[in-house]
Each structure stands twice: as structure tokens, then as C-alpha cells.
Amino acid sequence: MQITGLHKLIEIKDLTESTYILKIERKGMEFEAGQHILLGRANDPDQREYSIYSGVNDEYLEVLIKEVTDGSVSKHLKNLASGDMLNVEGPLGFFGLNKNKISNGKFLFVASGTGIAPFHSMIRTNPNLNYKILHGIRTCDEAYGMESYEKERYVRCASRETECDFTGRVTDYIKQNTFDKDTLCYFCGNFKMIKEAMDLLEKKGIPGNQLHAEVYF
Ligand SMILES: Cc1cc2nc3c(=O)[nH]c(=O)nc-3n(C[C@H](O)[C@H](O)[C@H](O)COP(=O)(O)OP(=O)(O)OC[C@H]3O[C@@H](n4cnc5c(N)ncnc54)[C@H](O)[C@@H]3O)c2cc1C
């Protein structure tokens, strides 16, 4: 059931100069990992979609946000303080794991930037999931929450630094590696990355009905 209302900001955690986590009162909101909420400041009609970063068993809601400097909402949310009120609407969307495959499926998660958020929720909710994440970032400090993932399951694909796990874009990683044909692939982040990554995996023989995407912008 969807709910709309005011939720208190419990805490704001800065991860980098531009990226932060908002920890928000949950107030009993039921959701499935992968879904998003609409979020804005109280008394501000502007709201934006944000994937839920926390797990379904957490007492609170968390979202992972990157400030878009010329944007209207993300920069204001960054300036909030504990105790401020937020307008929350949700849960929304259908991006989520195939429930029949959670216990025995092989999952590939491909994210750019904060597109890692729904996968963080899925993994936190299902700790025994058989997954691999390809995280497209520019620099190593953008590997948000990397301690949440098993080291061998999380590949930082950095386009501007050579010290991460892989130097290049997620699409370069996909080109240079093989994937089992029964892999269930999930993509989240910017449209260009998603389109290119999906095309590459399809060409590598992964059926179209195993490719699922959530486009942020
Ligand atoms: C289903 C869904 C879930 C989303 N979940 C998240 C999330 O978990 N975390 C998150 O940070 N964002 C997420 N977004 C993007 C978010 O909704 C906003 O678009 C973003 O925060 C910018 O809002 P703004 O009001 O600050 O900028 P706006 O004034 O709305 O936009 C300014 C410009 O920035 C572009 N833009 C949007 N996002 C980015 C970005 N990350 N990097 C560079 N340019 C961008 C827009 O296309 C636009 O051209 C999600 C979007 C969708 C559709």
C-alpha cells in the first residue's frame, strides 16, 4: 500500500563532497527491494524519485543521493539537518528481483554512480544472493558502500583512475569478459550506459527477457 506523508530526517551522512545518504523515519512503509520513493522537502512541491537504499528489514528508510549542482531538489536535500521534515510518497515502481530465482539464480547487477542504490537494498535484504556487481564510477572514492559487498562479488570499474579493480567503463568490462547464458541481468543508472550494456550482453547470448533496467536520467 502506498503512503504519503511527512517523515523526519534521522541523519544525513556525507560520503563524498557531492554524495550523501539520508536516513529517514520509515513509519511502517512496506516495500520491496528495488522500489523507489518520491522525496522532497516539507512545504516544497518539488519532489524527485529516489531508489530505496536500505533493506526491507531495516527500521528506517535510506536513500543514496548525488547532488546535481544545477539541479533543483538534490542540492536542497543535501543542506537538510537531522530533525527536518521530508515529504515522502511510496513505494513506487516494479524494479525488483525475480522472486522465483532469489534462492538459486545467478544475478549480474550493472550500476553507474548512485544507480548502485537498488542493488544495495536487494543484497541487504537477501544476504545469500548469488550476485556480481559491476559498478561504473569515475574515481575510486565513488565506490559508495563497498564494505557492504563481498570483495570478490564487487567490481569497481573506474574510468578516470587506475587504482580500482578495473580501469575502464562497465561496458569495457562486459566486452572483455564472459557471462553464463542463464544470468539474470539488472541495470540501473544513466540511460546511455544501460542501453550499451544491454546491447552487449544480448550480443553475448543473454536472452532479452533476462535483462531488466531502471533508468535514472
Ligand atoms: C526511478 C528513479 C530512481 C532514482 N533514484 C535515484 C537515486 O537513488 N539516487 C540519485 O542520486 N538519483 C536518483 N534518481 C534521479 C533523481 O530522481 C533526480 O533526477 C536527481 O536527483 C536530480 O534531481 P534535481 O532536482 O537535483 O535536478 P533536476 O533539476 O531534476 O535535473 C537537472 C539535470 O540533471 C540530470 N541528472 C539527474 N540525475 C543525475 C545524476 N545522478 N548525475 C548527473 N546528472 C543527473 C537530469 O537529467 C537533468 O538534466 C532517480 C530517478 C528515477 C527516475
Calculate the alpha carbon distances from 171 to 3, 159, 192 in Å: 38, 11, 10
User: Residue 217's closest CA among 65, 84, 45?
Assistant: 65
Looking at residue 69, what is its pLDDT? 93
- Alpha carbons 76 and 71: distance in angstroms, whole number: 9
Determine the pLDDT at residue 3: 83
User: What string of pLDDT tens digits covers the 217 residues of the chain?
Assistant: 788 899 999 999 999 999 999 999 999 999 999 999 999 999 899 999 999 999 999 999 999 999 999 999 999 999 999 999 999 999 999 999 999 999 999 999 999 999 999 999 999 999 999 999 999 999 999 999 999 999 999 999 999 999 999 999 999 999 999 999 999 999 999 999 999 999 999 999 999 999 999 999 9
Residue partners of 20: CB distance under 8 A and separation at least 6: 12, 13, 14, 64, 65, 67, 78
| Residue 158 confidence (pLDDT) | 97
Check if 112 has its Cβ closer than 6 Å to any atom of ligand 1.
Answer: no
Return d(Cα 10, Cα 21) in angstroms, integer.
11
- For residue 38, report the distance from its CA to the centre of ligand 1, in Å: 12
Ordered alpha helix ranges (H), the chain: 74-78, 117-125, 170-176, 191-203
Domains of the chain: which residue ranges?
A: 3-92, 99-215
State the distance from the centre of ligand 1 to the C-alpha of 180, rounded, in angstroms.
32
Any atom of ligand 1 within 6 Å of the Cβ of 20: no
What separation in Å is there between the alpha carbon of 217 and the centre of ligand 1? 6
The 10 Å Cβ neighbour count of residue 72 is: 11
Cell of 62: 535510506
Q: Please name the residue whose Cα sits nearest to atom 51 of ligand 1.
A: 216
CATH superfamily of 3-92: Translation factors (2.40.30.10)
CATH of the domain spanning 99-215: 3.40.50.80
Of 108, 168, 184, 106, which Cα lies nearest the Cα of 136?
Answer: 168
CA end-to-end distance (rounded Å), the chain: 26
